Chain A
Amino acid sequence: MTEEKLSRRKYLKYAGAAVAVGAVAAAGYGISQYYQQPTPTTISPTSTTPMVTTPTAGKKKVKIGGTKPFTGPDALAGISEGNSNKLWTKNVNEAGGIKAGDGNTYEIELILYNDEQKPENVPRLYEKLINEDQVDFLLGPVWGPLGMATVPVVERYKKFEVYGTAAFDPKDYRDWKYIVHTITNGPGYMAAILDMILERVVPNDPDANNIAITHGDDAFRATAGGYGYEYAKDKGFNVVFYDTYSSSVTDLTPLLTRVKNADPTIYLNGGVYADAILLMKQMRELDFNVKMIWAGTGTVFPAFYEALGKYAEGCVTCTQWEKGINYPQDFGPSADEFLNSYQNEYGETPDYHAGTGYQQGLVIQKAMELSDDPLSSESIRKIAGEMEMTTFFGKYKVDPVTGWQIGHKMGVIQWQNGEKTVVWPMEAGAKELWYPFKKWSER
């Protein structure tokens, strides 16, 4: 082996490369800081270092654990839900803890891991939570496939879990005994908008009965859109067009050309954020006008409005909860109290994932208050299956056997002058609905 002398030329080359790499790294750090300014999380991005909120020493405690996708495509939703899990823990502990049905007061220790939005990580982390961390109860993650990945572990170890913002196809249900749900499931997403159309639009515009439905083909989009299509037919809508598309689609113009030719009055699409933006941009490019549009659940995010600006005005979408939806609650904080508490803690307005995260905690809290064996999964599951409550998030009532949410009702919001305005349900304080959707050329 020959030893090569480092020439001046090579030295300069390596030094130059080092400076270039340093400059790129510095620039990257700068950009990172610039774009990360609004991110209010302090949660470790690694799955091995949990975020732990510990109670005061000497008091009885309940250990609650779960995972969230703190990194990955749905990280923002995971961070929101995790933030609210933490906020609930903090608020309850500051108020002295959970006054359980056995006469004891329990402070909460919360352990959250990052599942990196990889379903393959979930069983290992939930087993760790159950076997090593010895948690009493579990909080489910955000995103359907992650939620489904918790089910075998939860059922095997018979640990009570409150599912998170994770939809699932009811056909996949297999006699789960230890899980209850907080949110309206996937089949109810489009149904909420269809109910709103029937109640607020069709009486004034019979043409609104002519609708087109499309949706992506992954589990969530197919559940939201496929069940929505069946619901629309059941409710007597005239579905003039129905088709699906690959969820990894990069161009929707061929599909939109067909939808446009079917001439619907209202167009509903079971999509998420990326295809919602794509659909809106390409509808405009094709000058495809309808009187009302639901581009997908991603419409709910402020980033949707930021990306489309004036072209987002008038878009509607369903939501599990939103600022402006005010139910007269009989348990937990009011909507304003939750809103203020979240804003004080994280400096931003909570979205519906944050609402779900707080509701997860409230379900455990209420069930423990009613139980004389408050650390038993069997007892808590039974009570959680039978109890009812209305929180800021809406009604909580599940089917006692399946644990499916049957009490919660989704809301519908519409972008109006850059703000999300609640337009349904009427009992939650709905405001005026903008109808019809303004034509592209008139914006």
Chain B
Amino acid sequence: MSLELLAQTIINGLFIGFLFGLAGMGLTIIFGVMKIINFATGAMIMLGAYVAYWTYTYWPYTAIPGIIVSVGVGFLFGILVYQVLVRRLIGKPLLTTLLVLFGLASILENSMLNLWSPNPRSIPVDFPTISWGLISISTSRVFVSVMAIVATIVVLAVFKYTTFGRIIRAVIQDKIAATLMGVDVNRVYTLGFSLGVTLTFLAGALLAMVYPFEPFGGLPYALMAFVVVVLGTLGNPVGCLFAGLIIGTVHSFVGSYWTLNMSPAVAYLIMIITFLIRPQGLMGKKE
């Protein structure tokens, strides 16, 4: 019995960890590229979920088109938000960024409230559950985890093997030198921000398959994304995924062996300890 509980706890933790990691990845890429913290992450996760849900209502056979549409809309939305709002924030004090993006979050949340009502929604996908004794694995969770892994691999491949990725890394390392080499920094920022927003929308679309969501429901995910980003090193996508798995597993162990009430508190405690003893995060080097 206790071994089965242990196994189920680890499985539960890894499944939610992939989602935390993916949510954090969008945040960390935006910070890595342009040193801006996306305080509208929670609202964007929910918007991604709603786009997937809305697509599902028109194509109620599978959730896949919803995910694809959400990713596409996320990319375009990222470009729009960058051009209209975010490019004016580069180099501005942190407080300005905080206020503007917080305002954007508020606009998005209230727009979602008006468009889709306050009722929590859910995509009723019908994936089977596989059981061995008391251990159960939901194939919808497996699907979500695989998608998160694929997204991470694609992001890493883009960063490492494409010209665009090399340009982004050049801008991250030295913006002025990259500009002198003929790199259009504004374009890189636009695409970098859009990539981050796309991943955030993807996290929302995947979340919609396994969790209910509502217009103001993004905050807990956003807070976990911040914890994951801090733990996994700001700007590091791989660190983010690992940190997501760690936080997910800790969440699961605290909930299974202690009480679910303390799970967020333990996650924030980990963030505080990280700040105190390893502020550069798990993957960062000491400056």
Contact = CB atoms under 8 A, between A and B. Distances in A.
A254 B211 contact: no
Contact of A254 (B122, B131, B263): B263
Contacts of B116: 31, 35
A93 interface: no
B260 A278 contact: no
Interface residues of B, number: 53
Given A35-B117, A285-B141, A254 B260 contact: yes
Interface in B112-159: 113-122, 124, 129, 131, 134, 136, 138, 140-141
B54 A31 contact: yes
Chain A's interface size range is 35 or more
A253 B16 contact: yes
Contact of B260 (A76, A243, A261, A281): A243
A287 B131 contact: yes
Nearest to B256: A254
Contacts, number: 130
Interface stretch (B62-70, B93-101, B216-224, B235-243): B216-224
Interface string A384-399: 0000000000000000
Determine chain B's interface SS by DSSP, over half rule: helix
A307 B260 contact: no
B211 A253 contact: no
A72 interface: yes
Given A249-B260, A285-B136, A257 B113 contact: no
Interface of B: 1, 4-5, 8-9, 12-13, 15-16, 54, 80, 83-84, 111, 113-122, 124, 129, 131, 134, 136, 138, 140-141, 210-212, 214, 216-217, 219-221, 224, 251-256, 259-261, 263-264
Interface of A: 17, 20, 28, 31-32, 35, 39, 71-76, 217, 243-246, 248-255, 257-258, 260-261, 273-274, 277-278, 281, 284-288, 301, 303, 307-309, 440-441
**Which A-B residue pairs are the 7 nearest by beta carbons?**
A254-B255, A285-B138, A253-B12, A287-B136, A277-B212, A245-B260, A254-B256
22 contacts: A31-B115, A31-B116, A32-B114, A73-B214, A244-B259, A249-B260, A253-B15, A253-B255, A254-B254, A255-B256, A257-B256, A261-B4, A273-B119, A278-B212, A284-B138, A286-B129, A287-B136, A307-B120, A307-B124, A307-B212, A440-B129, A441-B129
